[in-house]
């Protein structure tokens, strides 16, 4: 079955460092991958979308890569800040039109 796997372990980093989160997918080749941020007690908020023909997408301190050979997307936050602490979810639409989410990676940025 189609699956998205993200690091289930929390990622703890120091303020100012670059956070790198991984999203691996199997049994399907999505044309687009999306990344969302979820804060405790809130709904997910869309951050970035990357297409299969784009190797990289940037938005301010965020960068997403999409490697269709490795079936992997990497999400980077440069110059991380405590305010970046949240759970980050990757997702894609499957052929049935459903948005499939990974379980998310919790990021904690310490001052």
Partner 1 sequence: DTAVSQTPKYLVTQMGNDKSIKCEQNLGHDTMYWYKQDSKKFLKIMFSYNNKELIINETVPNRFSPKSPDKAHLNLHINSLELGDSAVYFCASSPLAAREDTQYFGPGTRLTVL
Instruction: State the minimum distance, in angstroms, from the CB of residue 11 to partner 1.
Output: 15
**Residue 58 CB coordination number (10 Å):** 11
Cα–Cα nearest to 35, from 74, 79, 8: 74
How far apart (Å, rounded) are the C-alpha atoms in residues 109 and 15? 6
Instruction: State the minimum distance, in angstroms, from the CB of residue 49 to partner 1.
Output: 6
State which of positions 7-36 bind partner 1 (CB under 8 A). Answer: 30-32, 34
What are the Cα distances from residue 67, in Å, to 14, 15, 17, 88?
27, 28, 23, 19
Near partner 1 by CB under 8 A: residue from 11, 13, 49, 62: 49
Is 80 among the residues that bind partner 1 (CB under 8 A)?
no
**Residue 105 CB coordination number (10 Å):** 21
Near partner 1 by CB under 8 A: residue from 19, 21, 23, 44: 44
Site residues for partner 1 per CB under 8 A? 30-32, 34, 41-46, 49, 87, 89, 93, 96-99, 101, 103-104
């Amino acid at each position: 079955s189609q699956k998205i796997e993200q690091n289930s372990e929390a990622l703890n980093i120091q303020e100012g460092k670059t956070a790198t989160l991984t999203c691996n997918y199997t049994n399907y080749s999505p044309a687009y991958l999306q990344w969302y941020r979820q804060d405790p007690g809130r709904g997910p908020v869309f951050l970035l979308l990357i297409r299969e023909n784009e190797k990289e997408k940037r938005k301010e301190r965020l960068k997403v890569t999409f490697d269709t050979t490795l079936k992997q997307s990497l999400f980077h936050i440069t110059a991380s800040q405590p305010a970046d602490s949240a759970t980050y979810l990757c997702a894609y639409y499957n052929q049935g039109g459903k948005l499939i989410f990974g379980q998310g990676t919790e990021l904690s940025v310490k001052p």
